[in-house]
């Protein structure tokens, strides 16, 4: 049947409309951001799939994306895996949010409100776009907007921490500094001497471990040594904060030509390096 005089015009309109929709869809797709962080990229591969509990899924993502193996403790496990802790204002794509009770972080920890999530983007107001598993206890991986860990943890009477992977290579960039063996004293700058390992930073001599700092990390001795449990401990100031370390694993920085006439040492670049917890 031949077209009426109106049908060609209607067909042309429909063709033009489809062309506009196709162009819009193409433009939208090309403008959609592609995550560049390898942790986010790996996590997004599981979107909409069943992956089980959030903690186990996060560990698998980190292992696949970085080669790092997160430990079993809900706090120290990150540090054992080479992560560093960052503040909410510093956090960005690929960082991991952990909501926990700081007094119960052991592998058997199990209480309402515990959760692990991976940051996709920071919103600049303390909230984040995240990807997570098991949000509704269904084991599914999904995304969530406006996730504010400070508000959520506070409302549950819990704590939160944010961890970043991929910075442990900073140790290799640290310049060689001459060191000498022997006792360290208050005011000395020293280097951790644990090749391939790390040295525990504690709250007190033989006290609670807070961090584990990598070989060659610079510390400053801030007081006199104390002997506890047969070990000589010294108070130190580090990039991870103040605490106590076993003096036997510290080498004092040697005087060099970089000292000024007043005897001060020129600043050395500071960095964070946390690796597997092993040495005292």
User: From first to last of its 280 residues, what are the pLDDT tens digits of the chain?
Assistant: 454 555 555 555 555 554 544 444 444 433 344 567 999 999 999 999 999 999 999 999 999 999 988 988 898 888 878 888 889 999 999 999 999 999 998 888 999 999 999 999 999 999 999 999 999 999 999 999 999 999 999 999 999 999 999 744 334 344 467 888 889 999 999 998 887 667 888 999 999 988 777 777 889 999 999 999 999 999 999 867 899 999 999 999 987 654 434 444 333 333 344 444 445 6
Q: Domain ranges in the chain? A: 38-164, 170-253
Contacts 24+ apart (CB under 8 A), 152-158: 152/99, 153/99, 153/113, 156/99, 156/112, 156/113, 157/101, 157/113, 158/99, 158/100, 158/101, 158/113, 158/114
CA quadruple 195, 218, 254, 205: dihedral, nearest 10: -80
Could you tell me where the beta strands, DSSP code E, fall in the chain? 84-86, 96-100, 115-122, 128-133, 141-147, 159-164, 179-180, 189-192, 198-202, 209-214, 218-221, 226-228, 231-238, 241-246, 250-253
Q: What is the pLDDT of residue 26?
A: 43
The reported pLDDT for the residue numbered 196 is: 62
Domain 170-253: which CATH number of 2.30.30.40, 3.40.50.300, 3.30.470.10, 3.30.930.10 = 2.30.30.40
CA atoms of 249 and 221, how far apart (whole Å): 13
pLDDT of residue 166: 78
pLDDT of residue 13: 55
The closest of 197, 196, 201 to 212, measured between CA atoms, is: 201
3-state helix, strand, coil in the chain (%, to 5): 25, 30, 45
pLDDT of residue 100: 95
Q: Specify the pLDDT at position 179.
A: 85
The pLDDT tens digits for 71-99 are: 888 988 888 788 888 899 999 999 999 99
What CATH fold (topology level) applies to the domain 38-164? endopeptidase fold (from Nostoc punctiforme) (3.90.1720)
């Amino acid at each position: 049947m031949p077209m009426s005089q109106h049908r060609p015009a209607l067909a042309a309109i429909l063709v033009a409309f489809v062309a506009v929709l196709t162009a819009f869809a193409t433009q939208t797709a090309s403008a959609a951001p592609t995550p560049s962080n390898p942790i986010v990229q790996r996590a997004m591969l599981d979107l909409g799939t069943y992956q089980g509990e959030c903690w186990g899924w996060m560990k698998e993502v980190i292992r696949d994306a970085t080669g790092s193996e997160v430990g079993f403790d809900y706090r120290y496990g990150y540090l054992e895996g080479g992560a560093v802790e960052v503040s909410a204002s510093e956090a960005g794509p690929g960082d991991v949010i952990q909501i926990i009770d700081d007094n119960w972080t052991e592998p058997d920890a199990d209480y309402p409100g515990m959760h692990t999530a991976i940051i996709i983007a920071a919103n600049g107001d303390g909230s984040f776009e995240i990807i997570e598993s098991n949000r509704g206890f269904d084991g599914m991986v999904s995304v969530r907007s406006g996730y504010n860990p400070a508000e959520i943890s506070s409302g549950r009477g819990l704590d939160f921490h944010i961890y970043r992977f991929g910075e442990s290579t900073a140790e290799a960039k640290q310049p060689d500094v001459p060191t000498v063996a022997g006792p360290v004293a208050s005011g000395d700058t020293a280097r951790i001497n644990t090749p391939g390992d790390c040295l525990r930073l504690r709250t007190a001599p033989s006290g609670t471990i807070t961090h584990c700092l990598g070989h060659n990390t610079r510390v400053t001795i801030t007081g006199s040594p104390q002997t506890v449990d047969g070990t000589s401990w010294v108070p130190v100031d580090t990039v991870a904060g103040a605490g106590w370390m076993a003096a036997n694993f510290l080498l004092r920085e040697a005087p060099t030509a970089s000292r000024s006439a007043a005897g001060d040492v020129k600043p050395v670049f500071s960095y964070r390096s946390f690796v597997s917890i092993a040495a005292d």
